[in-house]
């Protein structure tokens, strides 16, 4: 074989998270890998947010919206669907605020499985609904919130031969932990702080599992402090009480009784972290800021991590943590997880700014309207 010259050599093609992290996942050579080449998402340095925090802080954004169906769910779904196929399952079932159903129906389509999804009627973003429908899912829009849908899913699964692919399926958690692996591989170490939105709490559970496993395997020397953020009107973990009627414009995390509640507390407490609430106003501000200062379009729920970062920074939380460090000159690395793509919910973007007025095709009027005069 001819040696590749420097101009023609390319890195090996990415083959999805199961291929990349096989040694850390519950798969064998017999597992039929169902993948859309998820993972390997950008870890973007944010100049604007790093500046806002000041030296020695460096803020990175893990853009999970770049996954094939536009959210982090694909990492868990490749493992859950592959294992479902391996076990001979014919149909998968989930309750969802939108992204899980989008991902489940896409991976099920690829595997030739039937998908059934229960969604809270009128409460999921249009992009996500369009995904479930076009991938051929049987969609039940239920007149109830997500928590009720998940209870129904548990009951249906007791009575019918279907595989549940919500994060109560442990294979989902296994796949989602690869986000932590990628962050460590890219940074060359674990970050000091890991900030993430919290809804059903599967993701924070998975991420903490990933960091701990990499640490145990000797791949990293340290562990991050885990910081989770719920929306104020849907913050059961923060208040310590189930929220019967969760309210927030961040529909993806409109959840009042998270399935992985206990594991989220473990992640918080083992890492010395916090789970806090951010208001819809703070979420929207972070949402616009990410789009306008970093060029990154996320869905509102995803901006909860950055809203939390800004809220904690305003309270000088990170500065206080700095005082406890031995080497104060070393950069402090913070990673905000941006869980889903902004195009999932374009209506919110337009509402949150202002739709453009229609103008006559007149140069003078247009120049004035676009600020060129
Ligand atoms: N961000 C987005 C965009 C989500 O879709 C979700 C959860 C979360 C954050 C929270 O993650 O539940 O693991 O704590 N969406 C689920 C769904 C509930 O059905 O799509 P979590």
Q: What is the pLDDT of residue 11?
A: 80
Strands 138-142 and 114-120: parallel
Whether the CB-CB separation of 119 and 104 falls below 8 Å is answered with no
Residue listed under structure tokens 């014919």: 90
Would you say the CB of residue 92 lies under 6 angstroms from ligand 1? no
Other residues' Cβ atoms within 10 Å of the Cβ of residue 351: 12
Strands 57-63 and 43-46: antiparallel
Q: What is the mean pLDDT of the chain?
A: 96
Q: Which atom of ligand 1 is nearest to the CA of 95?
A: 19
Whether the CB-CB separation of 179 and 75 falls below 8 Å is answered with yes
* 3-state secondary structure (DSSP) of residue 190: coil
Would you say the CB of residue 125 lies under 6 angstroms from ligand 1? no
Would you say the CB of residue 299 lies under 6 angstroms from ligand 1? yes
Would you say the CB of residue 198 lies under 6 angstroms from ligand 1? yes
Q: Which atom of ligand 1 is nearest to the CA of 128?
A: 20
Q: Taking 90 as the threshold, does the pLDDT of residue 137 lie above it? A: yes
Q: What is the pLDDT of residue 1?
A: 43
Would you say the CB of residue 70 lies under 6 angstroms from ligand 1? no
Q: Taking 60 as the threshold, does the pLDDT of residue 6 lie above it? A: no
Q: Which atom of ligand 1 is nearest to the CA of 97?
A: 19
Distance 271 CA to ligand 1 centre (A): 21
Q: Taking 50 as the threshold, does the pLDDT of residue 159 lie above it? A: yes
- Mean pLDDT across 222-249: 98
Cα–Cα distance between 340 and 109 in angstroms, integer? 21
State which of 149, 303, 339 you would mutate to test the pocket of ligand 1, scoring each by most atoms of that ligand within 8 A of its C-beta: 339
Distance 172 CA to ligand 1 centre (A): 12
Q: Which residues contact 130 (CB under 8 A, 6 or more apart)?
A: none
- Mean pLDDT across 163-171: 98
Cα–Cα distance between 261 and 243 in angstroms, integer? 13
For the chain, percent of residues with pLDDT exceeding 90: 93
Would you say the CB of residue 68 lies under 6 angstroms from ligand 1? no
* pLDDT tens profile 44-57: 999 999 999 999 99
Q: Taking 50 as the threshold, does the pLDDT of residue 149 lie above it? A: yes
Residue listed under structure tokens 């959210």: 71
Q: What is the pLDDT of residue 240?
A: 98
Crossing angle of helices 280-293 and 304-314, in 10° steps, is 100
When computed from its CA atoms, the radius of gyration of the chain, rounded to whole angstroms, is 21
Whether the CB-CB separation of 83 and 108 falls below 8 Å is answered with no
Would you say the CB of residue 201 lies under 6 angstroms from ligand 1? yes
- Segment (H or E) for 364: helix 363-369
Q: What is the pLDDT of residue 326?
A: 66
For residue 172, name the pLDDT band (cuts at 50, 70, 90): very high
* pLDDT tens profile 312-360: 999 999 999 888 776 777 899 999 999 999 999 999 999 999 888 999 9
* pLDDT tens profile 199-223: 999 999 999 999 999 999 999 999 9
The region of weakest confidence among 243-252, 266-275, 344-353 is: 344-353
Other residues' Cβ atoms within 10 Å of the Cβ of residue 338: 32
Helices and strands, counts by H and E, the chain: 16, 10
Distance 78 CA to ligand 1 centre (A): 16
Closest CA to ligand 1's atom 12:
200
Strands 332-338 and 43-46: unpaired
Would you say the CB of residue 252 lies under 6 angstroms from ligand 1? yes
Would you say the CB of residue 301 lies under 6 angstroms from ligand 1? yes
Q: What is the pLDDT of residue 322?
A: 82
Whether the CB-CB separation of 39 and 75 falls below 8 Å is answered with yes
Would you say the CB of residue 150 lies under 6 angstroms from ligand 1? no
Q: Taking 70 as the threshold, does the pLDDT of residue 31 lie above it? A: yes
Distance 339 CA to ligand 1 centre (A): 8
Q: Taking 90 as the threshold, does the pLDDT of residue 258 lie above it? A: yes
Of 73, 46, 373, 305, the closest CA to residue 203 belongs to 73
- What's the predicted TM-score (pTM) here? 0.96
Of 339, 332, 44, the closest CA to residue 193 belongs to 332
Distance 370 CA to ligand 1 centre (A): 37
Distance 200 CA to ligand 1 centre (A): 6
Q: What is the pLDDT of residue 2?
A: 45
State which of 199, 248, 299, 340 you would mutate to test the pocket of ligand 1, scoring each by most atoms of that ligand within 8 A of its C-beta: 199
Would you say the CB of residue 207 lies under 6 angstroms from ligand 1? no
Q: What is the pLDDT of residue 79?
A: 98
- The neighbouring-strand residues paired with 43 are 62
Distance 113 CA to ligand 1 centre (A): 23
Distance 73 CA to ligand 1 centre (A): 8
Would you say the CB of residue 99 lies under 6 angstroms from ligand 1? yes
Task: Please state whether 136 falls in left (phi above 0), alpha (psi between -120 and 50) or beta.
Answer: left
Q: Which residues contact 89 (CB under 8 A, 6 or more apart)?
A: 113, 161, 162, 163
* 3-state secondary structure (DSSP) of residue 373: coil
Q: What is the pLDDT of residue 321?
A: 85
Q: What is the pLDDT of residue 4?
A: 47
Q: What is the pLDDT of residue 68?
A: 98
């Amino acid at each position: 074989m001819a040696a590749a010259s420097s101009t023609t050599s390319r890195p090996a093609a990415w083959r999805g998270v199961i291929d990349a992290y096989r040694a850390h996942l519950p798969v064998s050579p017999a597992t039929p890998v169902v993948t859309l080449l998820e993972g390997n998402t950008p870890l973007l340095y944010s100049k604007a947010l790093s500046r806002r925090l000041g030296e020695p802080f460096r803020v990175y954004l893990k853009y999970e919206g770049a996954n094939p169906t536009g959210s982090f769910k694909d990492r868990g779904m490749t493992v859950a669907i592959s294992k479902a196929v391996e076990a001979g399952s014919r149909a998968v079932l989930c309750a969802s605020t939108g992204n899980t159903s989008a991902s489940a129906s896409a991976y099920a389509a690829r595997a030739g499985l039937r998908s059934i999804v229960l969604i809270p009627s009128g409460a999921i973003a249009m992009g996500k609904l369009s995904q479930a429908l076009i991938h051929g899912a049987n969609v039940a829009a239920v007149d109830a919130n997500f928590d009720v849908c998940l209870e129904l899913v548990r009951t249906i699964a007791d009575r019918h031969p279907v595989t549940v692919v919500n994060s109560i399926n442990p294979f989902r958690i296994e796949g989602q932990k690869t986000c932590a692996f990628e962050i460590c591989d890219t940074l060359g170490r674990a970050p000091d702080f890991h900030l993430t939105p919290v809804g059903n709490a599967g993701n924070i559970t998975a991420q903490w599992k990933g960091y701990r496993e990499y640490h145990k395997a000797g791949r990293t020397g340290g562990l991050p402090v885990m910081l989770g953020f719920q929306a104020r009107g849907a913050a059961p973990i923060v208040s310590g009480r189930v929220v019967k009627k969760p309210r927030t414009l961040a529909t993806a995390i409109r959840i009042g009784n998270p399935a992985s509640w206990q594991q989220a507390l473990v992640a918080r407490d083992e890492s010395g972290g916090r789970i806090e609430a951010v208001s819809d106003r703070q979420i929207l501000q972070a949402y616009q800021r990410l789009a306008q200062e970093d060029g990154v379009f996320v869905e509102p729920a995803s901006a909860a991590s950055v809203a939390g970062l800004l809220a904690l920074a305003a309270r000088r939380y990170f500065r206080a943590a700095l005082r406890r460090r031995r080497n104060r000159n070393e950069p402090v690395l913070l990673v905000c997880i941006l869980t889903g793509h902004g195009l999932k919910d374009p209506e919110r973007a337009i509402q949150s700014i202002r739709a453009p007025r229609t103008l006559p095709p007149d140069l003078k009027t247009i120049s004035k309207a676009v600020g060129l005069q």
